[in-house]
């Protein structure tokens, strides 16, 4: 399906989240071992996406862990952002994407990310209506937060390696939703 030319694209990078109530916005991201949680309240007409690098949260005194890299921090920010926009926790539904094992010789942090996201949602009582995790290649993800529609494209080996290199960079700290990076097409 071709995206309407009136649609706006917002790209989410590692360590970011965004909450949207505009039906003409599509959120997108590129994932390797990272995971994106896409959540929405279909009644309130609001949804969002996050993109995290590591499962769980930074351990006290770890010295290097910027909180925006960790799943627990970004999951909480996304849920709270949805609630602030009129969503109700009992109506939230989620889709989980990413978590590939992009480097065969490394531990499978992608699998740990996906398992963390699923367990977090179970613990919070949020229904998972779809997921696509694992594999050995990255993916490009598009998510329409108001309708809940999602589409993904597998990345080639070279694209996956570029994504791995980006994931290994430390993200800039983010303390609020992304307000820029809108691309009209």
Which residues does the annotation mark as catalytic? 34
Write out 52-109 in H/E/C secondary structure: ECECCCCCCCCCCCCHHHEHHHHHHHHHHHHHHCCCCHHHCEEEEEECCCCCCCCCCH
Total length of the chain: 185
> CA–CA distance from 174 to each of 12, 30, 129 (Å)?
11, 18, 28
**What is the C-alpha to C-alpha distance for residues 40 and 19, in angstroms, rounded to an integer?**
9
**What is the C-alpha to C-alpha distance for residues 39 and 130, in angstroms, rounded to an integer?**
11
């Amino acid at each position: 399906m071709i995206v309407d030319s009136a649609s706006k694209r917002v790209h989410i990078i590692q360590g970011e989240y965004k909450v949207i109530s505009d039906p003409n916005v599509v959120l997108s991201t590129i994932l390797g071992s990272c995971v994106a949680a896409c959540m929405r309240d279909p009644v309130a007409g609001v949804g969002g996406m996050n993109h995290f690098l590591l499962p769980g949260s930074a351990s006290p005194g770890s010295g290097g862990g910027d909180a925006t890299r960790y799943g627990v921090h970004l999951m909480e920010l996304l849920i709270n952002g949805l609630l602030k926009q009129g969503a109700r926790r009992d109506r939230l539904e989620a889709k989980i994407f990413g978590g590939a094992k992009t480097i065969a010789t490394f531990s499978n942090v992608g699998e740990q990310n996906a398992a963390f996201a699923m367990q977090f949602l179970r613990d919070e009582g949020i229904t998972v209506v779809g997921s696509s995790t694992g594999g050995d290649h990255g993916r490009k993800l598009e998510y329409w937060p108001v309708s809940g529609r999602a589409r993904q494209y597998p990345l080639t080996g070279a694209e996956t390696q570029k994504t791995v290199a980006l994931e290994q960079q430390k993200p800039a700290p983010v303390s609020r939703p992304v307000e820029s990076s809108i691309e009209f097409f």
